[in-house]
Structure 1
Amino acid sequence: MNERGRNENTKDKGDETEAKIIRELISCGYSVSVPFEDNDKYDIIMDDGGELYRIQRKMRWTNKENTMQFNTHSQTTKAGKYHEDTYHGEVNAFLVRYPENEKIYWIGIDDATEQKMELRFDAELNHPSINWAEEYEFSGEIP
């Protein structure tokens, strides 16, 4: 339950994530639009005054220490059949909220994997395949 005594579900958490991301983008000076329907691959349109960016917002989960993960594919059921689709060609970036530190991470679609992506905060070794969370922290500037 949240502080208001309501049970939170994934829709509530997603709405909270979207609201916090929109607030952050607006506070950084961007114009933000939200699609009228829920059927688009993107959740937010961000305008920097010159370009429009299609953003898919994500909430993370933690599956191991010092790491966050998020899906980089969509899961739907159409006509009784399960489908998984990537966002490549459909969005420009993922904006991921990490509630534990209240930071937002910008992952460009070209950096994203096709299923799940893992960002690490710390590791015992520095391996080239590690995606370091600090490198994706959204500072207000589009990478």
Structure 2
Amino acid sequence: MNNSPRQGEKSELAVASELMMQGYGVSFPFGHNHPYDLIVDKDGTLFKIQVKTAKQEQGNRYYIQADANRYETKDVDLLAGYSEAEVATFFIPVDEASGKRQRVTYTDLEKMGSDYNRQSANHISDYLFSEATQRV
């Protein structure tokens, strides 16, 4: 049932709730013909966000299925992945998205075997809302 519209709605509400708890204003667009699911007000700047349910890939790595070619920066600012297992959300600027899967890891940086792994990992610390919006 994870691929159902209900799961998507659950993810949208979880992301909206998390952002509201952080003090941001959150709006839902009226209707279903928008390329984004949420509008978030961060200090007077509005961000359009497309929400996806994140799936576990292996270990502490999660991904969202979001074809980067489908989203343009004029329509969507951020892709948000909500992981119910981690009870956490990550945000990827659309212009950083590439390919069909967007991945983020929750593994502690100290537990990654090498400097190369640490530097090449899409670590959650770089994909929090406050971090990702600085790159939009």
Matches within 5 A, 1:59-74: 59-73=53-67
Counterpart pick for 2:50 among 37, 42, 56: 56
Q: Residues 27-61 of structure 1: CA distance to partner in whole angstroms, max 9, x if unpaired?
A: 22222211111121100111224211110111111
Number of the residue aligned with 1:81:
none
The answer to whether the 8 A contact 2:54-2:62 is kept is yes
Q: Which amino acid aligns with 1:109?
A: V
One of 12, 33, 36 as aligned partner of 1:39: 33
Give the whole-Å Cα distance in 1 for the aligned partners of 2:27 and 2:3: 24
Secondary structure in 1 aligned to 2:40? strand
SS for the counterpart of 1:32 is strand
Question: Taking structure 1 as the reference length, what is the TM-score of the superposition?
Answer: 0.74
Which amino acid letter does the alignment assign opposite residue 95 of structure 2?
Answer: D
Between the aligned partners of 2:37 and 2:58, the Cα distance in structure 1 is 28
1:1-143 alignment to 2 at 5 Å?
Answer: 10-73=4-67, 85-89=69-73, 90-122=75-107, 123-125=112-114, 126-127=116-117, 128-138=119-129, 142-143=133-134
1:28, 1:140 within 8 Å by CA — same for their partners in 2?
Answer: no
TM-aligned CA deviation for residue 15 of structure 1: 0.9
| 1:135 to 1:124, Cα distance in 2 relative to 1, 3 A | same
Identity of aligned residues (%): 25
Unmatched tracts of structure 1, length 5 or more = 1-6, 75-84
* CA distance in 2: counterparts of 1:39 and 1:140, whole angstroms: 29
Alpha carbons of structure 1 residues 60 and 39: separation in structure 2 relative to 1, 3 Å: same
Q: What amino acid sits opposite 2:81 in the alignment?
A: V
Structure 2 residue runs of 5 or longer lacking an equivalent are: none
Tell whether the 8 Å contact from 1:44 to 1:56 is kept in structure 2 after alignment. yes
Residue 141 of structure 1, CA deviation:
8.5
TM-score of the superposed pair, with normalisation by structure 2? 0.77
Count of residues paired in the alignment: 127
C-alpha RMSD over aligned residues? 2.5
Given that 1:43 and 1:57 are in contact with CA atoms closer than 8 Å, whether structure 2 keeps it comes out as yes
